[in-house]
Chains A and B, each alone.
Chain A
Amino acid sequence: MGGIQERGGSLMFKPSALAYTYDGSFEGLLCCVFESYTWKEIPLAVHSEGEEQGLLLESKWIETDKHKAERVLKSIPLRISPEAEELVRLGFWSNTPEKELLLLNFLYLGFKHGRKVMNMLADDTVHALQKAVQQLRREGHLYLGFVRFSVYGPVMAAVIEPQGYILPVIQEHFCDRFQGESFMIYDQTHEVALIHEPGREAIIPLSGWTPPEPDEAEEAYRRLWTGFYHAIGIKERRNERLRSSLMPKRYWKHMVEMNGSNGVPALAAAQRKKALQQEPPESIGSLRASLRQTNTHT
């Protein structure tokens, strides 16, 4: 299949023994595209800052420049299609390996073929990107169900550990469903949180947050839910394999009915206890404070 070489050839681009390094932001990546088109060169690798990188390639630092980024972004719906812009954004949030290079290649293709690229589902690059985005969407969809809130007085909070950067994917759903509530969903993997209060919402950086200890009412509803969970399964149909294929074990840690905090499937019970002892839980007040703080970001 025609790789970069052939595509580059027709654009008179040349692959160069170069790696780009950028700050890891979406704008930064768009600037890599800008750079590549300015010098008609195709990097062999694109790394984000701080990422482990091979020592063999000469590396070029790409400065993030809002104006350049905007020029590239605007050209995507114009020269390719609005769906392509969405695909690029979602692709950037996926956790597929070497996503930067994949997105770069997709854009070379797109700028060459225009709107048609969206139908080229059998092309390796387009296929890989579609697959990455599909996986991100699938994880996002699973989290619509798997997020578990705890209620702390007037606020609710949940912790998740997704593989992809899914908060923007699930944002609309939760903010719409819980319009009247103040809540936070903390993404521990990417150290960001979706924060919502009636009328405002934002995704903000946040690191090392631990949920407070549940109060009695919260404990009671967790027990009720866990009891319901166990009562609903039909013993004669027990099927661990089917369950784990539909609800992979990596999600269990933060799900009340699965994580053993009430003496059931003790997957993470031990770890959980330790974590609670080492770090004194933050109080409800500080959560509320953190919710309040973030309002300035919206």
Chain B
Amino acid sequence: MEKLEILTASAKYDVACTSSGSDRKGQAGSLGSTAAMGICHSFAADGRCISLLKVLMTNACVYDCAYCVNRKSNPVRRAAFTPEEIADLTMQFYRRNYIEGLFLSSGIMRNPDYTTEQLISALELLRNVYHFNGYIHVKAIPGADDVLLSRLGLLADRMSVNIELPSQESLGILAPDKSKISILKPMGLIKDKIKENSSDIVKYNHAPRFAPAGQSTQMIIGASPDTDYQILNLTEGLYRKYSLKRVFYSAYTPVIEDSLLPSLDTKPPLLREHRLYQADWLLRFYGFQANELLDEAVPNFNPLLDPKCSWAVNHREQFPVEINRAPYEMLLRVPGIGVRSAQRIVKARRAATLDFHALKKLGVVLKRAQFFITCKGKPLEGLKVSEHTLLRSLMSGQQLAPYQPAQVEQLTLFDDHYAAALPAAGGWAEFKKGAEA
């Protein structure tokens, strides 16, 4: 009992909770299936989805990464699971529908190879002895032997190596036992294995699949001075070069005193994390590129506006778009129109010409979209566009509220005070400069 709590608490900062990406039907004689869309089984008091039994094999680590609770030099209680215990807990929780599967990671026991062997034993028990057919996400241990990593990948649905820090520089300072190479090497190996294996699949229908849900990674936000621009560029590179399925961002929560790190009373930068997820979404589903959203001159996201609104305000020359004619890709770029409402617009305009009233029913957030669209060639009746009203309407307090618990991050974003500080017409660029300084 206590053990589970210790090893859960040590794993809780890992964000890879999603179980999406694998779609596998149940099988006679085995227990479980996976669902591609991901299923949340519960939500923790911090509002984060719980879908996997997320634990460490052990929190007794021989490394000493500065940002980590499990670092060698941090005086916390230590515990370790045996592979049998992991397998039993997974099966029992899974039957009760508490979880969608297992997320297994570990501190480094003795050395990376030994640790990886322990992970392999737990997964072999689950797959080969208990015939567990549900979702497994396992952490590849940097520095482990390629052969071991390959075996591990054949047992899991998804594998991940955490990047942790967005630049080699920060890594060197905060995680002296790890290097860029030790992280990117397994990432490259996983990518190659997945690719090699997907061509095998075509040849032999029953070839075991290597991490069929792909690989993901996580970066800690706010432990180092890296900018949003650096982070987003790295993200884009990872999606392209390593075909990653997801990049997760974790607002740094100070866990230990260290002169190299933000002080213990620093609040986790949750709003910044939220903006990065929004931007990540724009890269993956909206056809945006990192350098459209940020550049050297403006390297961080505006806390007041979401990245898409920011982009639209800076590209007024591309608007307004005519709802009844604009291509799908352009609809996606309008603030207040999401993937779903864009799809509905394309469908519904085949049946009838759309007006503003219709758009509302299709799920468009008119409050934001109104400034950027026309219906049958006309803007919304009575619409007043001054820079001031525009920005005020785009700063949606309600949409943001859930990500902004009052005690955690005191942002007085939506005060009149802030609105008054906004630039007059034409002053938007200036304002951005001001915010940067």
Contacts and interface: CB of A to CB of B under 8 A. Distances in A.
A55 interface: no
Interface stretch (B41-49, B204-212, B241-249): B41-49
B120 to A, nearest CB: 24
Interface residues of A, number: 52
Contact of B26 (A119, A176, A235): A176
B395 interface: no
A236 B42 contact: no
Interface in A75-128: 116, 119-122, 127
Nearest to A142: B40
Mostly helix, strand, loop or mixed at chain A's interface?
Answer: helix
B352 A158 contact: no
Interface string B263-280: 000011010000000000
A129 to B, nearest CB: 12
B154 to A, nearest CB: 22
Contacts of B352: 120, 122
A280 to B, nearest CB: 24
B408 A224 contact: no
A289 interface: no
Contacts of A224: 1, 4, 89, 93
B80 to A, nearest CB: 16
A279 to B, nearest CB: 23
Q: Contact size class for B?
A: 35 or more
Interface stretch (A29-37, A45-53, A60-68, A238-246): A238-246
B32 interface: yes
A227 B95 contact: no
Identify the interface centre among B4, B13, B97: most chain A CB within 10 Å of its CB.
B97
A69 interface: no
B177 interface: no
Mostly helix, strand, loop or mixed at chain B's interface?
Answer: loop
Contacts of B45: 230, 233, 238-240, 243
B43 A121 contact: no
B405 A242 contact: yes
A240 B47 CA distance: 7
A258 B43 CA distance: 10
Given A233-B12, A233-B45, A240-B45, A180 B29 contact: yes
A144 B35 contact: yes
B53 interface: yes
A225 B53 CA distance: 9
Interface string B344-378: 10011011101001100110000000000000000
Contacts of A228: 4-5, 8, 53
B348 A119 contact: yes
B28 interface: yes
A225 B46 contact: no
A177 interface: yes
A138 B97 CA distance: 18
A221 B41 CA distance: 16
Contact of A229 (B42, B97, B100, B134): B42
A177 B26 contact: yes
B344 A121 contact: yes
A149 interface: yes
Interface in B31-65: 31-33, 35, 37, 39-51, 53-54
A247 interface: yes
Contacts of A161: none
B27 interface: yes
B95 A151 contact: yes
B218 interface: no
Given A225-B96, A228-B8, A173 B44 contact: no
Contacts of B97: 145, 147-149, 158
Nearest to A231: B8
Given A122-B352, A151-B95, A145 B39 contact: yes
A141 B408 CA distance: 31
A127 B43 contact: no
A70 B250 CA distance: 56
Given A119-B348, A151-B95, A180-B28, A231 B4 contact: yes
A151 B348 contact: no
Contacts of B12: 231-234
A154 to B, nearest CB: 11
Interface string A141-173: 100111111110000101000000000000001
A255 B351 contact: no
B1 A146 contact: no
Interface string B93-134: 101111010000000000000000000000000000000001
Nearest to B347: A119
A236 B69 CA distance: 15
Given A149-B97, A231-B12, A238-B408, 4 more contacts: A122-B358, A228-B5, A231-B9, A247-B40
21 contacts: A121-B348, A121-B362, A145-B51, A147-B97, A149-B96, A176-B33, A177-B134, A178-B31, A180-B30, A225-B98, A228-B53, A229-B44, A232-B9, A236-B267, A237-B48, A237-B253, A241-B405, A242-B403, A243-B44, A243-B46, A245-B402
Interface of B: 1, 4-5, 8-9, 11-13, 25-33, 35, 37, 39-51, 53-54, 89, 92-93, 95-98, 100, 134, 251, 253, 267-268, 270, 344, 347-348, 350-352, 354, 357-358, 361-362, 401-403, 405, 407-408
The 4 closest A-B pairs by CB, nearest first: A242-B47, A122-B358, A233-B44, A119-B351
